[in-house]
A and B are shown apart, each in its own frame.
Chain A
Amino acid sequence: MMDLLFFPWQLFVIFVGLTAVIAFIALNGLLLVYLDRKVGGFIQRRVGPYEVGPHGILQPVADGLKLLGKQIFTPKGADPVLYWLAPMISITPAIVVFIAIPFGPNLQVINTNVGLILILAFTGINVLALCLGGWASQNKYALLGAARDIAQSVAYEIPLLLSVLPIIFMTGTFNLFDITSGQGAWPWQWYILYQPVAFLIFFVCILAETNRSPFDLPEGESELTAGFHTDYSGMAFALFFLAEYAYMVIGSCLIATIFLGGFQGPIVSGAWWFLAKVYILLLIMIWIRWTFPRLRFDQLLNVCWKWMIPIAVLNLLVTLAVISL
């Protein structure tokens, strides 16, 4: 009995939770790679991956195995420490961030009252990782990609935060579980109806923050070979890749939690509603990727500084006025 009392339950929960989160990220990565390629194929009226497994369902596994088997190689002139640190810095915050997300009524690793801040702060570290990766690989394309990524991420962080603020003022909390509970089960009780403008701005900013098309300038294939990860191969590249998809999932989780009622849904609330919402959002992201061409860099920053930020500020002011009335 004494042993059980002194057993570090909190640590145990975090440990199990982190393991589950890593498994979740890896599975999501596999599924999203497949979905991305398959949907892209269908939109372009091809069949997409088809050879490995029935309807190519094992293609991401085969790709992963190939990346695992590749030689670990440091390019000539690359910084030996920073070069290998960058992919690790990229993936670690992605894993940490998931512990604060409420997947279901009883499915959250840590219910902390700074959940939203934790997520937004940790996802910001990814910029550092891409910057280090681009800098350390001693490659002009990588450096250009990193420079673009910094300009883009710094710019889009502002409207991202500005569009979350109205929700925080409405609910008075940073706790993601409380934000979810504040919304009802039915769609007309979700915050997307109270804050449609904030939702749109947030969605676009998430696209830009995760370097998804049409904002994929840091890795623009046509002009920068592969952008910041030009020199990376094997598992280092796989980590960057996994992190990118993990951040997509995090973005969708945030949108689902803040604007779409989280795990609450009609009839029976639970993790399935959360996952359904997240996957619908991810599919929309994939759909957008295969529809729009990449923006030019000045257009990208113009959209942010001339439209997103003023509209977000206006939205915030209007919300504050309404709340204070």
Chain B
Amino acid sequence: MITKTFSATFRGLYSLLVGLGVTRNNLFRSSVTVHYPRETTYLEGFRGPVELSPSEDDPEKPKCNACGNCVRICPSACLYMKATKPKKKEAEEDTSFDGQTTEENKTEKSSKKSKPELQSFVLDFTYCSQCGLCVQNCPVGSLRFSHDVFLAGFSRDEFVFDLLAKLKKQAQQKEQ
């Protein structure tokens, strides 16, 4: 009993010395923080408001194929998307109604096959909880988190982003 107490005490005292050693080692290491206004750092994994990523052939157009997965999965319902209906369907409807298919119509059909055109893509950031479900579930990897740390505004309206316009602006800025 007595030996147990004493050995526990001495082990405790030794652990105090170990602790002092740890802090001494850290005292002489370089600091890991950043002087904010003078220095900034790239924040890996920072979740800014989601944005569209450009497609490979045209930097002004998104990769988006307007499937609407993001709009459906968003728990805060903060994404609004408008797209033209798939052209193929329209063409089929056309044929069924008219009953006549010209050569012109056929070529149009094959070129605009089943790819809906994205008309507007709006993010209401005031509702967004940045859960990232839209980013995870985008089948073509068109949505991503932005890295704008300095986002600030004076009114709510400034946080409703037109993502297509934003993408265009980014592409123009890149060209310059």
Contact = CB atoms under 8 A, between A and B. Distances in A.
Query: Do the two chains belong together in a single complex?
Result: yes
A287 B33 contact: no
Contacts of B83: none
B173 interface: no
B147 to A, nearest CB: 24
A289 to B, nearest CB: 10
Nearest to A47: B31
B23 A45 contact: no
A287 B31 contact: no
A291 B19 contact: yes
A280 to B, nearest CB: 14
Nearest to B37: A51
Contacts of A41: 31
Interface residues of B, number: 16
B19 A287 contact: no
B131 interface: no
Contacts of B23: 43, 287, 290-291
Contacts of B33: 45-47
A39 interface: yes
A43 B27 contact: yes
A288 interface: yes
B27 A42 contact: yes
Interface in A1-55: 39, 41-47, 50
B40 interface: no
Contacts of A290: 23
Contacts of B32: 45-46
A307 interface: yes
B20 A288 contact: yes
A292 interface: yes
B31 A292 contact: no
Nearest to B9: A307
Contacts of B31: 41-42, 45-47
Interface string B97-133: 0000000000000000000000000000000000000
Contacts of A46: 31-33
Contacts of A43: 23, 26-27
A292 B35 CA distance: 27
A52 to B, nearest CB: 14
A109 B9 CA distance: 43
22 contacts: A41-B31, A42-B27, A42-B28, A43-B23, A43-B26, A43-B27, A44-B26, A45-B26, A45-B29, A45-B30, A45-B32, A45-B33, A46-B32, A46-B33, A47-B31, A287-B20, A287-B23, A291-B19, A291-B22, A291-B23, A292-B19, A307-B9
- Pairs A-B, 3 closest by C-beta atoms: A291-B23, A45-B32, A43-B23
Interface of A: 39, 41-47, 50, 287-288, 290-292, 307
Given A45-B30, A47-B33, A290-B23, 16 more contacts: A39-B27, A41-B31, A42-B26, A42-B28, A42-B31, A43-B27, A45-B26, A45-B31, A45-B32, A47-B31, A47-B35, A50-B35, A287-B20, A287-B24, A291-B19, A291-B22
